[in-house]
Amino acid sequence: MIKQSKKSLRQLIKSSFFRLTVAVSVTFTIVAVGLIDFTEIQLFIPHLQHDFQQLIHIYSEQPGSIVREYEDSVFYRVDDNHMGEMPDYLSDLDVGHHEVFHNNNAYHIMVKEDSQYRYLFEINQSDFELMELSIIGFIIIAMFISWGVALLVSRHLSKKILDPIQLLSEKIRNLDKEMDHYQLRNDFADDEVGRLAQYFDEYNQKINTLLMREKMFTSDVSHELRTPLMVISSTCELLLTQHPNETQVLKIQSACFEMKNLVSIFLALARNEGIDSKLNTAEFVLKEQFKKFHSMAQQKGLLLSLKINALSERQYSEEFLTIVVSNLIRNAINYTAKGEIKLVLNDDGFTIHDTGPGIPEAIENSVFAPFVRGQTNHSNGMGLGLSIVKRICEKKGWQVSLSTKEKRGTSISINF
């Protein structure tokens, strides 16, 4: 799974550019300081050792202790009896090279010994050390300045990069039905963003074509279905004038009215449109659907019961609520092999319990998706019932919740 960042793309670009600048500048500073030290070790120290060796050789013929001061250096050659002639800060140094700071001065000191004398060569490098510190300070200041420049440049860079993308997103968001044929590519240069706009234009054109086909299909289907339904309805009315109490004709007429309502509702769902709907109470709809499905449940050996815990005068769209209740009851009957199905009406909604096999854990989270159905020999259909219920509940602002346990049944609640 891809972890989504809470930062905006603009912030990510600024942060990435600034971090890159910090990493490069810190690396450069470390390398520069290291090169200064390396140069000092490789060039200055060998030169100092050479001068030290030359002085030892020059004064090798002269007896006794020697202290020679030059412009910026001092040479010492002392024996054990004349150690006091050296300054205190030099007396405890071991053989080798040392860098000593004394009285705000910096000294490079070479120390050597033999069986008779102790040799020291002291060079005052205060000016060189000051210059070295100045260079390092300048490099560090330049590093901090580069950070400030990086902040300004990253702001400008992110604006230059993201402004076309932001413009594209705003134009996409503001597209409406009257701009189906508007070409976004005309507003952008021939670059990556321009090509993205071109791809969106092509994709938008495909979507509009598919939507037009869907709209024509739903219109054709609704038109072609209404014509035979009108014939059936008018025929039923004619038969009822001759045989007013004919039960079968009344059933056909009732089914015809239901099919008319279904065509109108499904057409409204497909087009995301509203319809003028008849209002009624939830109690009325549940009682009507209870009567409708009671014989179906009995034929399968199931007990269908209706329990009304609370009465409410609030009214809802009868057509939409009828489809929701009928789909849930039909689903429960199809998936329940034995036992009972309970319809429970509460003040804020209703619940349908069954004693079926429950919903497998593998499809529990996707059971409201189209064409998802449980694997059982007692079921039929295409797996659209719960999907239709979910779509109607979303359209009407109702809440649907599901509770299930395998082999212990399922409960589906609708909260108004």
Query: Residue 76: left (phi > 0), alpha (psi -120 to 50), or beta?
Result: beta
Is 150's pLDDT higher than 90?
Answer: no
Interval 357-385: pLDDT, tens: 888 877 877 888 877 766 554 455 566 77
CA distance 15 to 9: 10
pLDDT for residue 275: 65
Interval 214-266: pLDDT, tens: 777 766 666 667 777 777 878 888 888 877 777 787 778 777 777 777 777 77
Is 1's pLDDT higher than 60?
Answer: no
Lowest mean pLDDT among 30-34, 72-76, 190-194, 400-404: 190-194
Provide, rounded to the nearest whole percent, the portion of the chain with pLDDT above 90: 13
Instruction: Locate 22 and state its tokens.
Output: 């910090």
CA distance 357 to 351: 18
CA distance 353 to 135: 82
Contact 196, 168 (CB under 8 A): yes
Average pLDDT estimate for 118-133: 84
Cβ burial of 182 (10 Å; 0-12, 13-18, 19+) is: middle
Average pLDDT estimate for 34-41: 80
- The CB density around residue 217, as the number of other CB atoms within 10 Å, is 11
Instruction: Give 315 or 260, the one with higher predicted confidence.
Output: 315
Is 52's pLDDT higher than 90?
Answer: no
Of 107, 105, 134, 139, nearest to 120 (Cα)?
107
Three-state DSSP class for 181? coil
Of 86, 132, 127, 131, nearest to 105 (Cα)?
127
Contact 219, 225 (CB under 8 A): no
Contact 158, 13 (CB under 8 A): yes
Instruction: Locate 1 and state its tokens.
Output: 């799974």
Rg (CA), the chain: 46
pLDDT for residue 414: 92
Q: What is the DSSP letter of 3?
A: P
Of 360, 382, 356, 361, nearest to 371 (Cα)?
382
Contact 246, 239 (CB under 8 A): yes
Crossing angle of helices 126-174 and 192-242, rounded to 10°: 30
Q: Look up the pTM and report it.
A: 0.51
pLDDT for residue 290: 93
pLDDT for residue 274: 63
Interval 166-184: pLDDT, tens: 787 777 777 765 555 677 7
pLDDT for residue 273: 64
CA distance 107 to 344: 97
388: confidence class by pLDDT, cuts 50, 70, 90: confident
2: confidence class by pLDDT, cuts 50, 70, 90: very low
pLDDT for residue 350: 94
Distance of CA 352 to the CA centre of its chain: 37
pLDDT for residue 222: 66
Instruction: Locate 83 and state its tokens.
Output: 């150690």
CA distance 290 to 305: 8
Of 355, 362, 338, 343, nearest to 410 (Cα)?
355
